[in-house]
Amino acid sequence: MSTPKHMEQVFLSAYDEYADAIFRHCFFRVNDRERAKELSQEVFVRVWEYLQKHAEDEVENMQALLYRVARNLIIDEYRGRRKHGLSLDLLREEDGFDTEDTRAHEGIIRAVEMTEVEHAMEKLPDHVREALVLRYIDDMSVKDIAALTKETENAVSVRLHRGINELRKLLRTNE
């Protein structure tokens, strides 16, 4: 049985370790910085509430719990509204792209390339897109993705392999 102090330490440790990753995950999925912040905060509120209700249970994999909550919130988000793409103007405003900066050209090219990848990924089935985001954006292992999605590691590996191949095809058609 966990003590309240122990639960608080576990929670704070998880927040320190995963807050940025959860935000990136949410941002990449909803393409809205403010909404991603809100969703990230909601993830941690819900996990805290879960820990309070289940104080007697030890969470074996905090990362999986956090991503599962984020995944469910994002699904709810998609049910509630249509997804909007990132624009280069929005990137300039939010990320401070400065056209006078000598590195701005490279930054703009990367932003455009990333936008192309995002648009191509929108054409992938949800379960494929999710696996790619978890693996290559959130840097989760195949084992952790399998635990999160409740699938075999082999199924996740095959999905990632096929997803990368399909993404390459989609990006080639955009050239």
pLDDT digits (tens, 9 = 90+) for 19-65: 988 988 888 877 778 888 999 999 999 998 888 887 677 778 888 88
pLDDT at 98: 44
pLDDT at 99: 40
Please indicate whether residue 159 or residue 5 has the higher confidence score (pLDDT): 159
pLDDT at 158: 93
Domains of the chain plus CATH, in order, are: 1-84 (1.10.1740)
Cα distances (Å, whole numbers) of residue 171 to 9, 13, 96, 163 = 45, 39, 27, 12
Q: Do residues 107 and 97 lie in contact, with contact meaning Cβ atoms separated by under 8 Å? A: yes
- What pTM was computed for the model? 0.55
Taking each helix axis as running N to C, give the angle between helix 62-80 and helix 4-30, from 0 to 180 degrees, rounded to the nearest 10: 40
Closest-CA residue to 129 (of 119, 144, 115): 119
What is the rounded average pLDDT for all residues in the chain? 77
Tell me which DSSP letter residue 151 carries: -
